[in-house]
A and B are shown apart, each in its own frame.
Chain A
Amino acid sequence: MATTTRVPTVDDLRLKLCYICREEELYDAPENPRRQWTHPCKCTLVAHEQCLLKWIQTAQATEGRAQNAMKCPQCGAAYELESKNPFILRLINVGNNILQSSGGMFTLFGTATVIGVVGTSIYVVCTGYGAWAMQKFIGKEMFNFLLGDDPSQWPWSAFINLPLLPFSLIVTRFQSTSSLPPIIPILLALPSTFSPAFNQKINDHWRLDKGVRKLTSYRPSSSPASTSSPRSWPPSPMIFGLFGIPLVQMVYQRLYSKVYFKVMGTLPPERVALLRNRDANGGAAGRNNVARMDIANGPFNLRVRANLRDDPHPAAHGEPDLLVGQDIPAPEEERVLQVNASTVGRKVAGALLTPAIASWMGTLLLRFSRHSVLLREFLAIRRPIGRVWYPPPVDVMNKDMHTLSAFKQMTVGFQMIARGLWGSSRTFLESDPVWWRNTVGLGLFIVVKDAVQLFHLWLTKRELESRKVKNRDFTGVDFRELDLIPSFLLGTRR
């Protein structure tokens, strides 16, 4: 007889042990309400359906366990699920995932775009400012010659130098005694860059007929100075910037400290910091720290110490004990007066306005120069030339550059650059040196500004020192509350 052996299922077990919650259930005594059991794999592990489903759901959500979730931990057989998972659900899930990932990508690209737009606009603003500053500083004529109003004609180096101008100006303002080269040489070194339009202008000019050339370019000069040798005054921008300005700065700083000392009785705070560093570091290294100290001291309050003591100030070595920057509190004998000579905004605005101030002072000086020959000579003012005097290409007359061999071109190019570096281009020298009088004007302005500042400080100090408190008598106060001397009460005091 063929015995049909049924294969038992989970419901045929007498004692079931859920491997997840370790609860047991006897066949004879089922739980109330009944719980569904499942035997999902090939070994003997059984579990409550709910326990298993919960385990699968949790495991699939966890990053590392997701791949083990649908396998039996003991025999490795895969679990199979059934659910109402119609096509529409799967479709919507897929769509949802796509939207999620595209949303993530959008966030990424959106942020990048925003940063790019902001950066570009900042760059454009800085470049525009740089162009404006250049024009103000070296004069409209030279500016048109070098750069022109059409940005597409600018050399590539302009697009690097110009946006950096505002930052250089601001940085220079905050490092008044720094050893770094200030901005002005950078402004003045630009003439040595040649643009294609510039070259084109040169070539066009030299192709003209000799006669026409004589008409178009004229040099008004009071003295028959030779055209072949470059003028020696004003000095070349490069040399002046590299050597002249630091020299002037140093001399001016010393003078200013002396005057400040005479007026205020103390040294200016930047000087104190410098000397303190020098003492601390034993000399040479002090200068390196000055820039750092000034950045800390510069933008913040300028404290004037109104010294009430009569004894004269000791030499610089004693200064650090009495005078400090802004960090250490005052000793009792000294009163500290805070005069807000500068805030960050003020310094930055001042730095950015420097080219305008320089240009304005330059025009002022120009106007004054009409009345004084000496001033005119000092400023080396020449009539602005309608057509600019183009420098003949070095050693090449009446020949076009492109007809030369490559090597010759290179040597000519190097010669021009070298001359530009050491002597500046002839055009620059021959034209009206707007930059020179602008620089001089700026210097004068700074001197006047410092003088006014010092004057303000001195007046403030005087005001403080001359303060007196007004006295009152005791009208309105009950006499009995006061501890009066007996002679007053008797009326015999006078």
Chain B
Amino acid sequence: MRHVEPSVPLKAPFTALTLPPPRFQLSRDSAANSEMTSISSRRLAKELKEIHSEGCPVGITLVKADDFATWWFTIEVMGESLYQNERYTLQFRFDSQYPISSPAVQFVVGEGMEAPIHPHVYSNGHICASILGNEWSPVLSVIAVCVTLQSMLASCKEKKPPTDNDRYVRTAPDNPKKTRFHYDDDTV
């Protein structure tokens, strides 16, 4: 189990091990597996229910959650900060493997909305945050991500764009999950 490398095609004698994890199914627990494809919808339904019943934390509001594919939130940094009185819109995109796979999160840009000027936020709305990449785990939730991003903005010392902003925006993919971010700076 420890040594499975499903993304690498192996030679003929080892083809039995070439199945990538999402397709690798144990025969004995089929009931659980039948729910695997809808794990994201069940979990998102739970999260949505919780949001409606308990409400969002301060500064975070739910804008739109019509389906289990794309959700919109607005976040605002409370109290004294560089982003006082500024409201930004976040977009979450989920795939069928949520929460095993991380959601695609970015700030919405366009139609009057802009991304905040922050060393970890590119002008096309993509965010360089470890919890969206390496540090993602299923214990996090949509609200948890919003809160983390809120604190990331609040703790910012200087409003400046990332150093490679122009180059990244020119060549960026549509989905921020496709970018290999390099997480070097934890202080901001």
Contact yes or no, A64 B134, CB < 8 A: yes
**Closest-CB distance, A88 to chain B (whole angstroms):** 13
Q: State in angstroms the CA–CA spacing of A317 and B68 once bound together.
A: 73
- Interface residue A136 (Cβ < 8 Å from any Cβ of B): no
Check if A20 sits within 8 Å of B100, measured CB to CB: yes
Are A61 and B7 within 8 A (Cβ)? yes
Q: Does A100 reach chain B (CB closer than 8 Å)?
A: yes
Report A239-295 residues with CB < 8 Å from chain B CB: none
Surface stretch bound by A, among B8-16, B71-79, B88-96: B8-16
In the complex, what's the smallest C-beta–C-beta distance from A413 to chain B, in angstroms? 56
> In this assembly, does A473 line the interface, its C-beta being within 8 Å of a C-beta of chain B?
no
Question: Are B32 and A48 neighbours in the complex by a CB distance under 8 Å?
Answer: yes
Residues of B within 8 A of A45 (CB): 139
Asked if B22 is at the interface of the complex by the 8 Å CB criterion, the answer is yes
* A60 and B42 contact, Cβ closer than 8 Å, known pairs A54-B100, A68-B137, A96-B11: no
Distance of A118 from chain B, by nearest CB (Å) = 28
Does B165 count as interface, using CB distance less than 8 angstroms?
no
A21-B43, A57-B21, A58-B100 are known contacts. Are A65 and B1 too (CB-CB below 8 A)? no
- A22 close to B (CB within 8 Å): yes
Contact among B2, B5, B14, B138 with A20 in the assembled complex (CB-CB below 8 Å): B138
Residues of the B chain whose Cβ atoms lie less than 8 Å from the Cβ of A22: 42-43, 46-47
Q: How many whole Å from A67's CB to the nearest CB in chain B?
A: 8
Given contacts A58-B22, A81-B2, A93-B3, contact A99 B138 (CB under 8 A): no
* Residue from the list B3, B29, B139 in contact with A50, Cβ < 8 A: B29
- Give, as a whole number of angstroms, the nearest-CB distance from A3 to chain B: 35
Q: Is the CB of B32 within 8 A of A74?
A: no
Known: A61-B4, A61-B5, A65-B134. A35 touches B39 (CB 8 A): no
Q: Tell me how far the C-beta of B176 lies from the nearest C-beta in chain A, rounded to whole angstroms.
A: 14
**Are B2 and A35 interface neighbours, CB within 8 A?**
no
- Of all chain A residues, the one with the shortest Cβ separation from B141 is A22
In the complex with contacts A21-B39, A57-B4, A35-B134 CB distance below 8 A:
no
* Complex alpha-carbon distance, A59 and B102, angstroms: 11
What's the tally of chain A residues with a CB closer than 8 Å to chain B?
A: 34
**Contacts A21-B42, A35-B29, A100-B8 known; A60 to B138 CB distance under 8 Å?**
no
How many angstroms between the C-alpha atoms of A93 and B11 in the bound complex?
Answer: 12
Question: Is the C-beta of A233 less than 8 angstroms from some C-beta in chain B?
Answer: no
| Residue interface bits A45-74, CB-to-B below 8 A is 1, else 0 | 100101100111111110011001000011
B residues 20-51 in Cβ contact with A at 8 Å? 20-22, 24, 26, 29, 31-33, 35-36, 39, 42-43, 46-47
Interchain Cβ contacts under 8 Å between A and B, 7 examples: A19-B138, A21-B99, A22-B43, A35-B31, A68-B134, A73-B140, A90-B3
- List residues of chain B with CB within 8 A of the CB of A90: 3
B-side contacts of A54, CB under 8 Å:
21, 36, 100
For residue A59, which residues in chain B have a CB less than 8 angstroms away from its CB? Answer: 137
Does A23 interact with chain B (Cβ within 8 Å)?
yes
Q: Does B6 contact A (CB under 8 A)?
A: yes
Interface residues in B152-181 (C-beta closer than 8 Å to A): none
In the complex formed, the residue of A with least CB distance to B136 is A65
| Binary contact readout A73-84 vs B (1 if CB under 8 angstroms, 0 otherwise) | 110000001010
Extra A-B contacts (14), CB below 8 Å, given A33-B31, A64-B133: A20-B100, A21-B35, A21-B39, A23-B46, A45-B139, A50-B32, A54-B36, A57-B21, A58-B100, A61-B6, A74-B139, A81-B2, A83-B1, A103-B11
Residue A372 interfacial (CB < 8 Å):
no
Q: Which residues of B contact A (CB under 8 A)?
A: 1-8, 10-11, 14, 20-22, 24, 26, 29, 31-33, 35-36, 39, 42-43, 46-47, 97, 99-101, 133-140
A229 to chain B, nearest CB (A): 70
Report chain B residues within 8 Å CB of A85: 1-2
Interface string of A2-21 (1 = CB under 8 A from B): 00000000000000000111
List chain A residues, Cβ under 8 A from B6.
Answer: 61
Contacts of B101 in A (CB 8 A): 58
Q: In the assembled complex, how far is the CB of residue A81 from the closest CB belonging to chain B, in whole angstroms?
A: 6
Complex: how many Å from CA A58 to CA B46?
Answer: 22
Asked whether B8 lies within 8 Å of A55 as measured between CB atoms, the reply is: no
Q: How far is the CB of A391 from chain B (nearest CB, A)?
A: 65
Q: Tell me, in angstroms, the Cα distance from A54 to B101 when the chains sit together.
A: 11
Which residues of chain B are within 8 angstroms of A92 by Cβ–Cβ distance? 14
A194 to B25, CA, bound (A): 77
Task: Give every chain A residue within 8 A of B46 (Cβ-Cβ).
Answer: 22-23
Chain B residues with CB below 8 A from A74, complex form: 139
Q: When chains A and B are docked, how far (Å) is the Cα of A33 from the Cα of B28?
A: 11
| Given A54-B100, A81-B1, A100-B10: A61 and B20 interface contact (C-beta under 8 Å) | yes
Chain A residues near B36 (CB, 8 Å)?
54
- Among residues of A, the one whose C-beta sits closest to the C-beta of B130 is A64
A residues near B136, Cβ cutoff 8 Å: 65
Q: Nearest B residue to A93 by beta-carbon distance?
A: B3
CB-defined contacts of B43 to chain A, threshold 8 Å: 21-22
Top 9 closest A-B pairs, CB basis? Answer: A64-B134, A73-B137, A20-B138, A57-B21, A22-B46, A50-B32, A93-B3, A73-B139, A83-B1
Which has the most chain A C-beta neighbours within 10 Å: B3, B6, B97?
B3
Report the bound CA distance from A99 to B5 in whole Å. 14
User: Given the complex, which residues of B lie within 8 Å of A83, measured CB to CB?
Assistant: 1
Residues of A within 8 A of B33 (CB): 50
B135 to chain A: which residues have CB within 8 Å?
68
Partner of A60, one of B4, B20, B47, B137: B4
Determine the chain A residues whose CB is within 8 A of the CB of B97 once the complex forms.
58
A19 to B140, CA, bound (A): 9
